[in-house]
Amino acid sequence: MRQSTPPKRPLGVSLTRRDLIAGEHALKDALQAFVPFKSYSLYFPPSDADAGTLTAEYLRGEQKLLLPLTLDGELLGMFMAKGAKGVQAKMLPLLSRAAALCLENLLLSKACRTDAVTGLDNRASLMRAMEREIELVQACILPGSASCLDAPGEARGSFGLALFDVDFFSWVNQGYGYLFGESLLAKLGALLAEKAPDGALCARLGEDVFAVLLPGASPARCQELAESFRAAVAEEIYEYPVNGERVRLTVSAGFAVYPRDLHGGQLAAPVGEAARILVQKARKTLACAKDLGRDQVMSFSKLLREGGQVLECLPLGRLAVSLGRGVDAKEGQRFLVWSPRFDGAHALVRGGDHRVSGRYPAMVKGEIILMETQEDVSFAEVLHLTDASWTIEPGDRLLLAQEPEDLFAADSEPAAPPQRDMVSGLLGHRDFIRHISLAREAQSVFTLALIRLPEPGKERQLQGGSPAEARVQEVTALCREFFGQDAQGGRFSTGSLILFVPGHDPLVLKERFAAFMEQAEARLGLKLAVGLAGYPFLNFGKADVLENCRKALDHSLLIAQGRKLAVFDSISLTISADRLFTLGDVYGAVEDYKLALLADEENLLARNSLGICLARLGRMAQAKAEFERVLAKDPRNIMALYNLGHACHRLGEEAAARKAFQRCLKLNTQDVYSLLRLGRMAEEAGKLANARKYYEKAAALPSGKELTVRHLARVELASGHAEKAREYLHQALLHDPKDAFSLNLLARMYLDGGEDPAIAEALARQSAALRPDQKQFWKDLARALEKQGKVEEARQALARA
C-alpha cells in the first residue's frame, strides 16, 4: 500500500500570533464540530515553552479542554474550551490533529492572500481591502448621504494608497542574479512592514513594486510614511554573499488619497472600479517621481502643480507635455516652464582656480497654455518666452501658474495685432482674452459660453487623419449662423470654443443654445457640451465669469440624459460645494452652499448639505435650523429627517430626536441607520431589551447585519452574555478587520475576563493605531501592558491618552 505524504507547506508563509487572534472564530467553529463547549479563549505560553512537552489535556473537574496549537513543531498558542463535557482520553490525540488541521487551513487561507517572496499581502488581497475601505468611506463623502452624520469617530472619511518602486532593480537582477534579487525584495518587504503603522496593509503588487494601504490617513500621513521608508532604504547596505560586494538601493514613491484625488463620475463609480482608478492614479504619481529623478516622493495632488514635463517640441510653437486627463489636466490651464539644469547649487568660476558655489535664481523660460488634453498627454501652445533666444526644450519642467485676480485684465503694454486661427477665423486664446478685457467694460450685461466638442471617434480616426480641425470649422460656421455679429468668438482650446455675447443674459440665450446644439447633432453628428455664465450674477464680478463658465461646463458634463447644456446657477454652485466637501474643505463648502441658496432658496439639497457641514463644524443649533427649513418645504425628505434627529440628539433633545428617527421609519421601514440610532438611544438610556429589538430589526434588513453586529455585541456584553458578545465581535471583524471599536471591545473582554493580556495588548494596539484620537483605546492598551509588567510602555500609553 502506498504511503501518503504530508502536503507541502506554502513557501514564505507562516502563522503569527496576530493570525491566530484573527482566526480565533474559525478555530472555534471547526473544533465545535467535534466537541461542544460553552465558551473559549486563546492564550500564548512563554516564548521558551517546548512544543514537545505540551499535549492536549482535559480537566474534567473544571470542564476545560486545553489544546496546544502546534504547526511544524512550533508552538503558536493554546486554545481553551470551557464548559466541554464528555471528553474521553482517547479523543485527545484526535482533537490535537483536528486543531493542527485547522491551523493548516488558516495557513492555506493566508497563503492565498500572501506574496510568497516577501510575506506581504498580494495584489488580490490589497484590492479586496481597498474595496472594503471605499465602502466604509462612501457613506461620508457625499453630503446628501443619510449616514454621513453617524456618531463622531465611527466613520473613516479617507484612506491613502502609497506605492514604492525600487530604482534600477533590473540592474540588480542582471548583475547579481534573481535569487539575490528576491532576497533583497524580502528584506525590503520586512523593512516596509516595520515602518508601516499598525492597521496598515502592506502588499507587493508585482516585480519590485510595493504598496501600503493606510486607513483613515491624510495626505500628510502618507507623505510621512513614504519619506520614512525612502530614507530607511537609502541608509541600508546589502551584502552580496558570493564576494562580499556591498549594494545600496533607493526607492521612488507616489501616493493618492481617496476620495480627495477622485472627482466627478469617478466618485460614483462601482467600488471595484473606484479601487482600480485609485491604483492607476498612484501609479501615475509613482511614474512621475521616477521621471523626475528617482529617490523621491510625489503626491497626486502635486502632480498637476509641479510634476509636468515637456516631452516634445512641435512646429508652430506647440508642445507635447506629460500631463493629461488622468492627472486632472484641463484645456485652458496655464503653466510656467523652467529648466531643471539651472536648479540647485552650482560651482562658478571666479578666476584662475578659485571657485565659488552659488544657487541660480529662479529663471522661467516662458508660459504655455494647454490646448488639447488626452488621457496621458496634452498639447500646449507657447503664450510667450522670457527670452526669445532661450527656447523651450524636452525635459523642461512645468509649474502650474496662479490664476490672476482678473484674467480679463488688459496688458499694460500696447497689444500686438490680434492673431486669428487659420482654420476657424476665430481669435486665439490670448488675443480673445485681450479683446474681451476691453469689450466687456462697456457692457452691463453679457454672457460667456464654453462649447466643448466631443473627441474624434475611433472609426473616423481609422479613416485617415484626425477630423478635429474640420469639425471646429463646421461648428464655427454654425455659431455664426445662429449668433451672427452679436457674438465674438475665440479658440479656447483645440477641442473647445468660447463665445462672448454682449447685452444678453444666459437664461435668455439658453433656448437659442439648445437649438444650436440640436442642429449640431442633426447636421454635423456632434453632441456638444455647453456651459453658460453671465454678468451680473449674485456678488460675482466680471473677472469671475470665465471661472463660473468653466464650472457650468463641468456641470453640463455631469448631465447623464438629455442635452449637456448648463447655465451657471444654484446647481452648479452645489456641485462645486460638493467637490470642496469631498476634499475636506468644509468652510469653503459652506460658502458655496450659501451662495447656492442665495441663488435659489428652494435648493433643498444645498440646504441639507449646508446643515451637514454646520454639524461637522459643531454648530448643531444652526444645523438643526437648516434641517427644519428643508422639512418645512418637504416634510417627507428622509435625509433631512435623519439629520435633524442626529442634531437633536447631539443637542440633548432626546424626545425630538426619537420622533425624527421614527418618522424616518414610517417613510422607509428599511432605514437601517434610523434603527441603529434608536437602538443607540435606548442603549444609552439603559433600556437594553429595547436596544436589542432595534438592532435585531436592523440586522434582518439587507446589508444591515454587517453594520449591526458590533452594536449587538455591546448590548450582549452589558447584559452579561460575554460569549454571545464575542461571537458578534468576531462577525464584525470578519466584515471589517480594521474595525477599531470592535478590536477595542474584544481587548477589553480579554482584560476583564482575566484572560491572556498578550492577546489584549495585540488587539488594543491595533485599535489605538487605527483611531489614535480615542483616549479610551490608549487607556485599555496601558492596562494590558501593566498586566504584563511593561510599566514604562504602559506609562507612555497613558501619556498618549
Same domain, 292 and 439: no
Which pLDDT score is estimated for 47? 63
> Is the model more confident about 317 or about 350?
317
Which pLDDT score is estimated for 698? 92
pLDDT at 466 over 60: no
Which pLDDT score is estimated for 194? 92
Distance CA(727)–CA(705), nearest Å, equals 13
Same domain, 279 and 252: yes
Same domain, 39 and 182: no
pLDDT band (50, 70, 90) for residue 372: confident
Closest CA to 291 of 234, 352, 233, 340: 340
Same domain, 492 and 450: yes
Lowest mean pLDDT among 148-162, 200-214, 552-566, 631-645: 148-162
CATH number at residue 92: 3.30.450.40
Check: CB of residue 643 under 8 Å from CB of residue 617. Answer: no
Same domain, 162 and 256: yes
pLDDT band (50, 70, 90) for residue 413: very low
* Long-range contact pairs involving 579-584 (C-beta distance under 8 Å, separation at least 24): 579/263, 581/141, 581/143, 581/609, 581/613, 582/141, 582/142, 582/259, 582/260, 582/262, 582/263, 582/267, 583/260, 584/157, 584/158, 584/260
pLDDT band (50, 70, 90) for residue 392: very high
Distance CA(558)–CA(199), nearest Å, equals 36
Which pLDDT score is estimated for 297? 94
Q: Total domain count for the chain? A: 4
Phi–psi pair at 200, nearest 5 degrees: -80, 155
> Is the model more confident about 55 or about 712?
712
Q: Residue 691: enclosing H or E segment and its boundaries?
A: helix 688-699
Task: Identify whether 503 is part of a domain.
Answer: yes
Which pLDDT score is estimated for 249? 95
Which pLDDT score is estimated for 403? 59
Task: Identify whether 612 is part of a domain.
Answer: no
Same domain, 105 and 208: no
pLDDT band (50, 70, 90) for residue 396: very high
Which pLDDT score is estimated for 696? 93
Which pLDDT score is estimated for 49? 59
CATH number at residue 322: 2.40.10
Distance CA(33)–CA(21), nearest Å, equals 20
Check: CB of residue 558 under 8 Å from CB of residue 578. Answer: no
Tell which of 568, 595, 615 closes a domain: 568
Provide, rounded to the nearest whole percent, the portion of the chain with pLDDT above 90.
43
Which pLDDT score is estimated for 228? 95
Task: Identify whether 704 is part of a domain.
Answer: no
Same domain, 160 and 48: no
Same domain, 434 and 386: no
pLDDT band (50, 70, 90) for residue 458: very low
Tell which of 549, 568, 587 closes a domain: 568
Same domain, 177 and 231: yes
Contacts of residue 691, Cβ cutoff 8 Å, sequence gap at least 6? 679, 680, 682, 683, 711, 715
Distance CA(403)–CA(518), nearest Å, equals 34
Give the three-class secondary structure for 74: strand
Tell which of 568, 601, 627 closes a domain: 568
pLDDT at 95 over 60: yes
Average confidence (pLDDT) over 167-187: 92
Which pLDDT score is estimated for 407? 44
Classify residue 719 by burial, with Cβ atoms within 10 Å: 0-12, 13-18, 19+: middle
Which pLDDT score is estimated for 344? 58
Task: Identify whether 233 is part of a domain.
Answer: yes
Same domain, 206 and 257: yes
Residue 382's domain comprises: 310-348+358-392
Which pLDDT score is estimated for 187? 95
Which pLDDT score is estimated for 495? 79
Check: CB of residue 573 under 8 Å from CB of residue 606. Answer: yes
pLDDT band (50, 70, 90) for residue 694: very high
Task: Identify whether 666 is part of a domain.
Answer: no
Phi–psi pair at 313, nearest 5 degrees: -100, 130
Same domain, 153 and 54: no
Which pLDDT score is estimated for 147? 43
Q: Residue 681: enclosing H or E segment and its boundaries?
A: helix 672-684
- Could you give the angle at which helices 722-735 and 24-32 cross, rounded to 10 degrees? 120
* Whole-number average pLDDT of the chain: 85
pLDDT band (50, 70, 90) for residue 129: very high
Amino acid at 413: E
Phi–psi pair at 780, nearest 5 degrees: -70, -35
Provide, rounded to the nearest whole percent, the portion of the chain with pLDDT above 70.
88
pLDDT at 82 over 70: yes
CA 230 to chain centre: 22
pLDDT at 483 over 70: yes
Closest CA to 568 of 607, 592, 537, 603: 537
> Is the model more confident about 13 or about 164?
164
Task: Identify whether 771 is part of a domain.
Answer: no
Which pLDDT score is estimated for 451? 93
CATH number at residue 198: 3.30.70.270
Classify residue 502 by burial, with Cβ atoms within 10 Å: 0-12, 13-18, 19+: middle
Both ends of the chain: CA-CA distance in Å? 65
Average confidence (pLDDT) over 753-773: 86
pLDDT at 242 over 90: no
Same domain, 104 and 135: no
**Beta carbons within 10 angstroms of residue 271's beta carbon:** 14
pLDDT band (50, 70, 90) for residue 352: low
Task: Identify whether 642 is part of a domain.
Answer: no
Contacts of residue 717, Cβ cutoff 8 Å, sequence gap at least 6? 725, 745, 749
pLDDT at 590 over 90: yes
Task: Identify whether 364 is part of a domain.
Answer: yes
